Amino acid sequence: MALLPACAPPSFIPASLQTQVDRSLTYSQLKDSPDSYRGRLIVLGGEVLTAKRLKDGTRIEVLQLPLDDSQRPESDRTASEGRFVGIQKGFLDPATLPGGTRVTLVGEVTGVMTLPLDETEYAYPTLEVKTLKVWPDWTAWRDGSPAYRSPLWGPYWGGGYLRSPYRWGPGWGYRGCCLSWDQGHRTTPRALHRFKSGRRPR
């Protein structure tokens, strides 16, 4: 497996924001002193709790979760350190962000907002959303939900082409996400199951 090329997912952060993001700023620091970091750009992610349309934008309440190497929120809710609110300027239909949706965003810290939480008040660090990544629900996709069916997803015989020495077993995944190798030539497999022996990719 060490010979196989890696599938490094591209960052969802626009190039114009890459150098502006404060990667040293953590959620715990932000939670402890939101006003101290006003104007800073931070990457945070988690699970949408509610999304509410406001007069001039949409307020997204998020349960913070740690991010993995692809910047996708992890699934363990017990790893959460708290909540935060992202304000998306302009129109964003709350119906597109139902509860449970996983998101990652780049936001500019704007301070803190106190909102009711059950029988108490909770201080939410607030961010103005600069870019928002909504992650598909892989469970629904895996279980065959029509909303997640795509010809680019499905079973494949992973790895190289039939003449490649680098083959591994069958599985499920995105048929075009990884690079493969064919007699020393780097190629991008498109629907690997369609290739036949002797046929070279275009």
Model pLDDT for residues 98-143, shown as the tens digit of each residue: 999 999 999 999 999 999 999 999 999 999 999 999 999 865 544 4
Worst-scoring range by mean pLDDT, 34-48, 95-109, 130-144, 182-196? 182-196
Could you tell me the residue ranges of all domains in the chain? 16-135, 140-194
Contacts of 190-194 with C-beta under 8 Å, sequence gap 24+, read 191/151, 191/152, 191/156, 192/156, 192/157, 192/158, 192/161, 193/155, 193/156, 193/157
d(CA 163, CA 161): 5
Instruction: Return the higher-pLDDT residue of 93 and 199.
Output: 93
Asked whether residue 15 carries a pLDDT value surpassing 50, the answer given is yes
Which comes out higher in pLDDT, residue 105 or 165?
Answer: 105
Decide: 26 and 52 in contact? Cβ < 8 Å. no
| Cα angle 33, 69, 140; round to 5 | 100
- DSSP structure string for the chain: -TTSPP--PPPSS-HHHHTTB-TT--HHHHHH-GGGGTT-EEEEEEEEEEEEE-SSEEEEEEEE--B-TTSPBPS-GGG---EEEEEEES---GGGS-TT-EEEEEEEEEEEEEEEETTEEEEEEEEEEEEEEEEP-HHHHHTT-GGG--TTEEEEEEES-TT-S-EEEEEEEETTSS-EEETTEEE--SSGGG--TTPPP-
- Among candidates 83, 67, 96, which has minimal Cα distance to 30? 83
pLDDT for the residue numbered 12: 87
pLDDT in tens, 65-107: 999 999 999 999 999 999 999 999 999 999 999 999 999 999 9
Q: Cα–Cα distance between 24 and 44 in angstroms, integer?
A: 12
User: 53, exposed or middle or buried, with CB in 10 Å at 0-12, 13-18, 19+?
Assistant: middle
Q: What is the pLDDT of residue 155?
A: 46
pLDDT at 11: 82
Query: How much is the pTM?
Result: 0.67
Residue 166 — very low, low, confident or very high, per pLDDT cuts 50/70/90? very low
Q: How confident is the model at residue 200 (pLDDT cuts 50, 70, 90)?
A: low
Taking all residues of the chain, what is their mean pLDDT, rounded to a whole number?
A: 77
- CATH number, domain 16-135: 2.40.50.140
- Rounded CA-CA distance 64/78 in Å is 10
Cα–Cα distance measured from residue 101 to residue 113, given in angstroms and rounded to the nearest whole number: 22
**What is residue 10's predicted lDDT score, i.e. its pLDDT?**
61
pLDDT surpasses 60 at 185: no
